[in-house]
Amino acid sequence: MSGVSSLAERLARPEIRALAPFDIADTGPDPDAILLDSNESPFAPLATTSAVNRYPESQPAALRARMAALYGVERENLWVTRGADDAIELLIRAFCRPGEDAVAYSSPTFTAYERFAAVQGARVLDVPLDDNFDLCVDALAEAIEADGKVKLVFVCSPANPTGNVVPPETIRALADRLPETIVVADEAYIEFADVESLSGEAATRENLVVLRTLSKAYGLAGARIGALVGHPDTVAMASRCSPFYPLPVPSIDAALAALAPSRRALHERRIAELLDERARLAAALENAPGVGSVRVDGGNFLFLEVADPDALADTLRSRAIRVRFRPQAAPGGVRLTVGTREENDAALAAFGVSGSGAGSPSRRAEVVRETKETRIALALDLDSDGPRRVDTGNAFFDHMLDQIAAHGGFALDLTCQGDLDVDAHHTVEDCAIALGEALRTALGDKRGIGRYGFALPMDEAEAKVLIDLSGRPYAKWEGDFSASHIGDYPTEMTAHIFRSLADSMKAAIHVEVEGDNDHHKTEGAFKAFGRALRQAIRLEGDTLPSTKGML
């Protein structure tokens, strides 16, 4: 019925009718596409999910407490929101009268500020960034003072889509200068930046609010969990605009699981990995044909200016790689999210360059293992000889696991929260299983690796370990101990550990120890295992060390 407006059009508020239709660049699901367009984490969340017959808590107490602890504030300083997007909307709804009050920001920036202001009918005061995409602080403050009705000023740092970090002292100075305006520091990407968060300060200042999210650094974009952090009065005021049950139970549970203390080290490691990849992408793209400038500062993304965006779009489409084109930010502007090493290699190839290390699959693995007795999060990288961080709560066992990684020559992050109040048995056994699983996963098809053994003396003691990464579990142990414990570590667990490793690695592991001192014998066995492993996992060409063609 062209020409006749619909009922919805006739009834809608004029300012809503004037908005562009909802349009998020989305070409539908394609399970094979490489998604470097939305600044998500390429890693699956470190989380599990749950039942939904009950309403959720309106404001989930446990998650609120855990996020408050994560951001270093008290519970009353934080409101858990449906992503940071929701926090933006709550603030604008709570503080801006339609047709009267204004929201300020500096474009190009995150589009949600403009959108939610329009929906609320709030005016917008845009004081553009300078040619380097930096904030013009004085101009912004002057414009806000002159307007007199700006309730909220959004400062995105690190900025989307350009990545520029606004120094915290600049944001602080803006808040000092504008005591009657709430400065909202959008820190959606702060985990990827080399600056301190303003969360702690927002807790005590009436006119400073910080937005945080689990979408970007914590791999939970699909769960929609973020937070508004600020003075208790500001938080309470914004929360009055919240729906009654905004957060789905599975999202709350996923966030709680992801934020378990045992997973902290893994998150840090993932972030470090993405930062390494960000640097690798930036260096490679500097030399890419048709790429004019490469900007990288604070986010999990890069901002490029390319000579021929249409040609790039064609190439990327043919390879099912998605990026975000941002012509409003700069002619030929492209925002490229940092993905996994493999995804980044695919992106670099599409840009006509190859990154250093391209082509060699990464030999990394993560294992998250949870039972009633233990919660384990483990990451390892066979092609990096550090860092090593082991924390199981049993000092001697930590030392033994560290020996395996140190002598094996690989990076290991392992955190275990186990039922040590019972005894060390479950912790020791489950860590061995998780380590074996991770080694097997990281080795992949085992192309290029060998079968090895190692023997070493340790003072009067001697330890010998043979490993065959055969795909068939078999454990053989020879040796005994005179004491029942070394510290809190039960000596009887040593044989058990190598059996668990053999099972979970699907490897034959033969261990022989002899000598007088239990400590020497035990440490010797772990060291020799690490040494044998170091040889076994070393890449030596690309053939399978088996005449069967598979291991």
Ligand X SMILES: *Cc1c(COP(=O)(O)O)cnc(C)c1O
Residue whose C-beta lies closest to ligand X = 83
Residue closer to ligand X, measured from CB, 160 or 251: 160
Beta pairing, strands 374-381 & 388-391 = unpaired
Check binding of 162 to ligand X (CB under 6 A): no
* By the rule CB under 6 A, 235 interacts with ligand X: no
Q: Decide: is 84 part of the binding site for ligand X (CB under 6 A).
A: yes
Residue 84 or 376: which CB sits closer to ligand X? 84
Gap between the Cα atoms of 135 and 211, Å rounded: 18
Instruction: By CB under 6 A, name the one of 215, 242, 500, 504 that touches ligand X.
Output: 215
The smaller minimum CB distance to ligand X, of residues 160 and 522, is found at: 160
Cis peptide upstream of residue 361 (ω within 30 degrees of 0): no
Residues in the chain: 551
Q: Single out the segment in contact with ligand X by CB under 6 A; choices: 79-87, 123-131, 407-415, 486-494.
A: 79-87
**Whole-number minimum distance, CB 166 to ligand X, in Å?**
12
Based on the shown chain and the rule CB under 6 A, indicate whether residue 213 belongs to the binding site for ligand X. Answer: yes
d(CA 376, CA 261): 10
- Sequence-separated (6 or more) residues with CB below 8 Å from residue 105: 113, 114, 124, 125, 126, 127, 153, 154, 155, 156
The count of chain residues that interact with ligand X, using the rule CB under 6 A, is 13
Based on the shown chain and the rule CB under 6 A, indicate whether residue 188 belongs to the binding site for ligand X. Answer: yes
Residue among 45, 226, 333, 355 that touches ligand X (CB under 6 A): 226
464, 528 Cβ separation under 8 angstroms: yes
Q: Which is nearer to ligand X, 210 or 390 (CB)?
A: 210
Contact 390, 266 (CB under 8 A): no
Q: Taking the complex as a whole, how short is the minimal distance between the CB of residue 142 and ligand X, in angstroms?
A: 24
CB of 188 to ligand X, least distance (A): 4
- The answer to whether residue 105 forms part of the interface with ligand X (CB under 6 A) is no
State which residue, 122 or 505, has the beta carbon closest to ligand X.
122
CB of 228 to ligand X, least distance (A): 11
Strand partners, 291: 306
CA distance 62 to 492: 39
Of the listed pieces 213-221, 262-270, 287-295, 356-364, which binds ligand X according to CB under 6 A? 213-221
Which residues, 6 or more positions from 541, have their beta carbon under 8 angstroms from its beta carbon?
A: 448
301 is a contact residue toward ligand X (CB under 6 A): no
Find the part of the chain contacting ligand X (CB under 6 A) among 58-66, 77-85, 283-291, 459-467: 77-85
Q: Looking at 37, 64, 85, 175, which residue binds ligand X (CB under 6 A)?
A: 85
Q: Which of 458, 454, 455, 456 is closest to 520 using CA atoms?
A: 458
Nearest to 108 by CA among 336, 292, 335: 335
Which among 82-90, 142-150, 164-172, 531-539 is the span making contact with ligand X, rule CB under 6 A? 82-90
Which amino acid belongs to residue 254? A
**Nearest residue to 419 (alpha-carbon basis) of 465, 376, 483:** 376
Q: How far apart are CA 304 and CA 322, in angstroms?
A: 14
CB of 483 to ligand X, least distance (A): 54
191 binding ligand X? (CB under 6 A)? no
- The overall longest dimension of the chain from CA atoms, in Å, is 96
156 binds ligand X (CB under 6 A): yes
Q: Measured from the CB of residue 116, what is the shortest distance to ligand X in angstroms?
A: 11
Q: How far is the CB of 83 from ligand X (least distance, A)?
A: 3
Contacts of 143 (CB under 8 A, 6+ apart): 104, 125, 127
| CA 410 – CA 385 distance, rounded (Å) | 4
Give 298 or 530: the residue with its C-beta nearer to ligand X: 298
Closer to ligand X by CB, 81 or 417: give it.
Answer: 81
Asked if 45 and 223 touch (Cβ cutoff 8 Å), the reply is yes
What is the pattern of x (binds ligand X, CB under 6 A) and - over residues 30-69? ---------x------------------------------
Angle at 345 between CA 340 and CA 348, to 5 degrees: 125
d(CA 91, CA 111): 15
- 24 token code pair: 């998020």
Would you count residue 186 as binding ligand X (CB under 6 A)? yes
By CB under 6 A, residue 221 contacts ligand X: yes
Q: Which residues bind ligand X (CB under 6 A)?
A: 39, 83-85, 110, 156, 160, 186, 188, 213, 215, 221, 226
